[in-house]
Structure 1
Amino acid sequence: MTRYRHFRPRTRLTTLLAQLSVLGTLAGAALAGASPAAAGQRAVDISPGVTYRDYDLAAAHGTTHVHLLTVDLSDPHVRVDLLYPGAVAARATVSRMAASAGAVAGVNGDFFDISEAQHPGVEVTGAPVGPAVAGGRALKAAVPRGQRFGPALPASGSTEDVLGVGTDGVARLDRLSLTGTVRTAADGSLPLRGLNQYALPEGSVGAYTADWGGVSRRRAVCGTDTERGAPCGTDTYEVTVRGGRVVSAADSPGSGTVADGATVLVGREAGAQWLRKLAVGEQVTVEQRLVAKTAGVSYRFAVGGAVLRRGGKAVPGLDDSVSTVRTALGVADGGRRLLLLALDGGAAYRSGLTVAEVGAELGRLGAGDVVGVDGGGSTTLVARGAGGASVSVRNHPSGGGERAVANGVGVFAVGG
């Protein structure tokens, strides 16, 4: 191991003993059970239907270290659901979200709004890019492609792409599109173009519910459909609907928690002009739902990400030059097996993998479909130890500690 090259051992036996001693120390390190580089080839049962292992992987830019959760979705004693901090516009560490929800394992999820340096004075929302479904309930829809945070998408990609588990218990890749309407008796109807999103399409109206949280909605009218850093719009309007009627209005998006049962409608450009027609007391109907591209499928869990592999083949145009720490999700065995992969961010392995390499590795492990989610300092994998009651971080986060993230994929034990 390269960490010993500055020492001159007297004999090969002395060197071996020194290595074993250091590895033994690392195995008991306080960093949430992070495993030593050369260990972990054997799968360890976390709970029925859930196993964990870690291993070294030689890659183009050096050796990396892989942490892998395998989830058997056909096992009635396991389920998968979204981890999130209780609001769309909020962040928390994966270990905190997993512990709060009672998950036995999990990884970080979608890319998210992490910086607003180009919009001085605008609050960072921390909200994820793509659609999100938790417990069968739609939390949010996707931002416009040009407003996405994270590496560039392949030409065939969309911010509406998700990995989800349907009510049939099968995992699959899909796209979730928002279908919705704002309707009044006097002014007709307008398509709803947003649901709890940090960015709305130009000229549109979006809905914000109690799921959004208390963060300012100002970010929703910043940027354009093609440029995230474009200035914030000045032609804006906001109305609050409760009990089917307009109860208040304002010239700019506000902040504060939306009351249960209420909906705040935020408009920009043409959408703002339409909302200005509404009077306090006027009756308004707001309808919204996420619709799957796969006909007849509804989801109890879904998280956004970038599709890297589909139908057993790599997506064209994947980058094979930039290598870093990454997290990815794979679907195997016709949707009955889920693979959750997170790379180690320790100094010895920080070279990581390219997007193409991570897709290929999950393909080697049997995944026909692969989605890349947030990486770098966000990459985190947590799991309970054998017989343990709480989760711990199994990889070394590249920032030296866990980063607060928007959401994650949680694995849960069901029944006894």
Structure 2
Amino acid sequence: MTVQKQVGAAALACALVWQLVAGATVSAAGTKLTLSSQETITSGAVMKNYVWATTRGSKDVSVNANVIEVDLTNPNVKIDAMAGTKNQFTKNQSVLGMVKDTGAVAGINGDFYNTQAEGVPEGAQITNGQVMSTPAKISGLYSFAITKTNQPIIDIFDFQGTVTAKDGTAFELGGVNKTFYWDDNGVPLIANGLFLYTSAWAMTQRAVDGTNVPTEALIQNDIVKEIQVDTNVKMAAPADGYILRGSGLAKDFIVKHLKVGDKVTTKYDMIPHDASKTYDWRNFKMLIGGSTLLVDEAKPSYFTRNINDFNGYSPLSRTAVGYSKDQKKAYMITVDRNGDSAGMTLPELQQFMIDAGVWRGMVLDGGGSTQMVSRPLGDVDPKLVNKPQNGNQRAVANGLGVYSTAPKGELKGLILKGQSLLFMNESSTYQFKAYDDYYNPISTDGIVPQWSTSVANGSFKDNVYTPTMPGKTQVIAKSGKGSASMDVEVVGRDQIVSMAFRNGSFSVIEGGDFKLPITVTTRSGATRELPASSATWELSGIKGTITNGVLHVDSAAGSQAAQVIARYDGYSTMVTLPIGQEKVWYDLDHYAVMTTGDKYPAEVISSVNIPQFNGNKNLEITYDFTKGLGTKAAYARLNNGNGAPIEGEPQFITAKVFGDGSFNWVRAEVIDGNGKLNYVSFTENMNWTGWRKVTADVSNLTMPISLKSIYVANPANGQDERAGKGKINIDDISFIYDGQLPALPKNTMKLLVGKKQATLNTKAMTLEQAPTIVKDNTLVPLRFVTEGLGGTVKWDDKERKVTVVRGDKLIDLWIDQADLLINGERVTAEVAPAIMSNVTMVPLRLISEKLGFKVGWDPQNYGISIE
């Protein structure tokens, strides 16, 4: 690098820094590009989803990248520039909004813009052949254009323009639809500049910078219609005219040389910065501005702008555009920084673009502005494709849209949507979308497909499939030339690797309802909730019912725990739930606190009384809600309305309520440990008469809590469906605390390999079959060990299956099969259970550890101790 001697020290330092930045062409080593999926958007446009992997420093990173590939030779598709709302500047909106507004099928965000100004693009824009804005007078800004012959162009364009008054005086035009900005030397071009604004500029104010007061002239059909000195024309430009805005010297031109009624001549041009280029913007179908060149001849370009100005060396979300060497394909690109996707630096983006096929390309606005939208095949509505950097879809100045120009075609294909994982005898509805010869959506009205499956393991009725046998199949729909299929796995016992209750541990109480969702995971890694109707249920320790996966406890008397077993196709899982401990807190015979009446609003009539039923005192709340407006309530305030403190950390509050069939609500006001007032409902539909036990959940509140009131409410919405007058009685307000699972018996047994003699605690016993070593695994008699240590054993002769339950553990095992089910988890033993001398023998170590036994081994005497 040669530097002239007359360059000063400061200038020399700046020049060196610029050369280092501009010349940086870092190529990421060891990159890997994987095409994860692709889908046709419309005829001539394809969505490709990539994962790009590289090493950043010493860390391996991957980035999600999306490319819309457009065939520029296809007459059924086009690319055009979009702007704001309804193609107007200053009305910024998301790319999704612009795509929907303009009828595009896909799109990305476009040019850089000043977020502190009116929100118009920094560079030029041509939409549908019409100029919407012209290039900024800033060096190194590239634009992407497509000519009338569909030739893609990425180049720098300069602006030239003049406005000539009737008296022949001319003034240089600074640009069309530009906001305030500064040139490369930091000079504010709006200060002495003359700028032109068309109807594409939606605001009635133009280039407001807070410093330079505008003088404006309205020109219509080339005639001056209005001049406003030191203020703005109070309208947007009409479709058949424009507004000239001037400050400083430009103001003087307007004031001295333009007069209402005079003719004005305005001319401007956008010419290639490279004088050897001959293309004419008047032949452009579209054009959109950007910033630095990134790729030239499939190689990283030097940066034509200082990319530190937009964090070019930091990994961010990015947007770019480019085209192929044969000029037949255009590439619209976004990369994400969100979640596991690590974003890209501009040098990394250069390499990705080259990997993706770009011959020449440039950067568009990135970071929080990066958005890509596409219409899924068969859908009518476009959807956001990428994950925005800040989580939201930012309103931006403009974008690039992809448009279908195809005529309406005939049905070409169908796309199916529905469950890919089913359980036997589970009926599932399959829906379909349709697209035509040009891959555009068509209405499904009147299309009645023929439904079938590749394997005869179920039946169809219309579009509802009910499988009856497990296995993999394809659901197929056909209509005319259109057809589609999707893989469906029908789950059977052999395909399951785990089946588990997923609601965690909690206590159950009498009268309570508890959801018991079950998740099934298959060998293929698919996971789904098991429909409650597909399971068979078994209860132990309580009396109750399970309806639609909800356990209702009728009685838990004398029990410390409830065991719920669910089975599907012979595959079992179990959850053991402690019975909650109930403490009566308020019954007016033995326990009570100060109770007073209250009401809301003032027009409500209510009272609190203490009558007796069969010698038992209870709390009575009478109410008259026939007057007043809005939500109405009648309260029983506790402890003078200050709240009565509740000990410990209860999970539920219960009460016996004598209902009046009014359909009103019964609720409680509870003050939590943070002093916040919470409303919990016993019922939001008091549809019964007589006594009923009701429950409200307080487990999610911060402890300790205080009970402020019990009350009857008639919410404003739906008051005409509830009784306006009535009374309820309340008794035995109780709190339910977490229960404890019963302790297992602490028995000890001793056995000897090859010997039938054994002891249980201190009692000598004789086994029918001695412990045996098979393939270095010690097998022991299952029933003796399990029942001796507090478990139960059940035998299923048809399946040759043994079910073992001990405490909160359930094991299913099959004779001569190495796979066992332990609380719904499939486990493979080294040695399968076997029958010896009519006794079921099982691997000691596996079974004992899974059932919570402790096993000791005496290698000298081949002795076994289990406790």
What's the TM-score bracket when you normalise by the shorter of the two chains?
0.7 to 0.9
Q: CA, structure 1 residues 215+311, in 2 after alignment: closer, same or farther (shift >3 Å)?
A: farther
- Superposed CA deviations along residues 275-294 of structure 1, whole A, max 9, x for unmatched, are 11122223222233434453
Provide the rounded CA distance (Å) in 1 between the counterparts of 2:272 and 2:406. Answer: 30
The structural deviation recorded for 1:215 is 4.7
Q: Is the 8 A contact 1:144 1:199 kept in 2?
A: no
Checking the alignment, whether the CA contact within 8 Å between 2:135 and 2:270 is kept in structure 1 is no
Q: 1:180 aligns with which of 161, 169, 175?
A: 161
Amino acid at match of 2:296: R
| 1:286 partnered with 2:266 | yes
In 1, are the aligned partners of 2:375 and 2:381 still within 8 Å (CA)? yes
Contact 1:164 1:303 in 2 (8 A): yes
Deviation at 1:204, TM superposition (A): 2.1
Q: 1:244 to 1:77 in 2, by over 3 A?
A: closer
Q: Does 1:166 align with 2:151?
A: no
The CA deviation at 1:207 is: 0.8
SS, match of residue 42 in structure 1: strand
- Distance in 2 (CA, whole Å) between partners of 1:39 and 1:361 is 11
| Aligned residue pair count | 347
What is the CA deviation profile of residues 194-243 of structure 1, one whole-angstrom value per residue up to 9, with x for unaligned ones? 11111262422111111111252142xx4xxxxxxxx7235x42211223
The yes-or-no answer on 1:69 pairing with 2:68 is yes
1:358 match: 349
The yes-or-no answer on 1:336 pairing with 2:315 is no
Question: Closer, same or farther in 2 for the Cα pair 1:401/1:275, shift >3 Å?
Answer: same
After TM superposition, give the deviation of residue 174 of structure 1 in Å.
Answer: 2.1
Looking at structure 2, the residues matched to 171 and 265 of structure 1 have their Cα atoms a distance apart, in angstroms, of 33
Structure-to-structure mapping, 1:122-201, within 5 angstroms: 124-145=117-138, 157-158=140-141, 161-199=142-180, 201=189
Question: Using a 3 Å threshold, how does the CA distance of structure 1 residues 252 and 91 change in structure 2: closer, same or farther?
Answer: same
SS state at 2:359 partner: strand
SS at match of 2:352: helix
Cα displacement string for residues 348-397 of structure 1 (whole angstroms, at most 9, x for unaligned residues) = 22x31001111221112221211111111111111111211121111111
Q: 1:139 is matched by which residue type in structure 2?
A: M
Q: In the alignment, is the contact (CA less than 8 A) between 1:88 and 1:140 conserved in 2?
A: no
Measured in 1, the distance between the counterparts of 2:350 and 2:177 equals 30
1:109–1:304 Cα contact (<8 Å) kept:
yes
1:186 match: secondary structure: coil
Aligned to 2:104: 103
Greater helix proportion: 1
Is 1:326 paired with 2:318? yes
Q: CA RMSD in A?
A: 2.2
Aligned to 2:392: 401
SS at match of 1:138: strand
User: SS of 1:180's equivalent?
Assistant: strand
Contact 1:345 1:395 (C-alpha < 8 Å) held by counterparts: no
Identity %: 24
Matched, 1:275 2:262: no
- Asked if the contact 1:72/1:337 (under 8 Å) is kept, the reply is yes
In 2, distance between residues paired with 1:329 and 1:87? Answer: 22
Take 2:77 and 2:165, find their aligned partners in 1: how far apart are those partners? 45
Counterpart pick for 1:315 among 301, 304, 324: 301
Q: Deviations over 1:166-219 (max 9, x none)?
A: 111011112333332211232422222211111262422111111111252142
TM-score, with length taken from structure 2: 0.38
Comparing 38-47 with 77-86, greater Cα deviation is found at 38-47
Q: Contact 1:81/1:411 (CA < 8 Å) preserved in 2?
A: yes
Contact 2:137/2:158, CA 8 A, preserved across alignment: no
User: SS of the residue aligned with 1:334?
Assistant: coil
Alignment partners' CA distance in 1, 2:37 and 2:220:
56
1:411, 1:244 → 2: CA distance?
A: 35
Larger radius of gyration: 2
Structure 1 segment 75-90 matched on structure 2, within 5 A: 75-85=74-84, 86-90=87-91
Quote the residue 2:279 is aligned against: 296
Query: Quick check: 1:233–1:268 contact (8 Å CA) kept in 2?
Result: yes
CA distance in 1, matches of 2:350, 2:88: 31
Alpha-carbon distance in structure 2 between the residues aligned to 1:254 and 1:345:
44
Residue in structure 1 matched with residue 199 of structure 2 by the alignment? 210
Equivalence map 1:357-396=2 (5 Å): 357-396=348-387
Matched to 2:99, the amino acid is A
Structure 1 CA distance for aligned equivalents of residues 270 and 90 of structure 2: 19
**Amino acid aligned to 1:208:** Y
> CA offset at residue 344 of structure 1?
2.4
Give unpaired runs (5+ residues) of structure 1.
1-37, 116-123, 146-155, 223-230
> Measured at CA, do residues 215 and 92 of structure 1 come closer, stay the same or move farther in structure 2, by a change above 3 Å?
farther
Measured after TM superposition, the shift of residue 255 of structure 1 is 5.3
**Unmatched runs of 5 consecutive residues or more in structure 2:** 1-32, 182-188, 408-867
Give the corresponding residue for 1:114: 115
Corresponding residue of 2:49: 54
In structure 2, relative to structure 1, the CA distance for the partners of 1:255 and 1:363 (3 Å cut) is farther
Cα separation, 2, equivalents of 1:397 and 1:409? 17
The amino acid across from 1:73 in the alignment is: L
Report Cα offsets for 1:13-44 as digits up to 9, x if no partner: xxxxxxxxxxxxxxxxxxxxxxxxx9962321
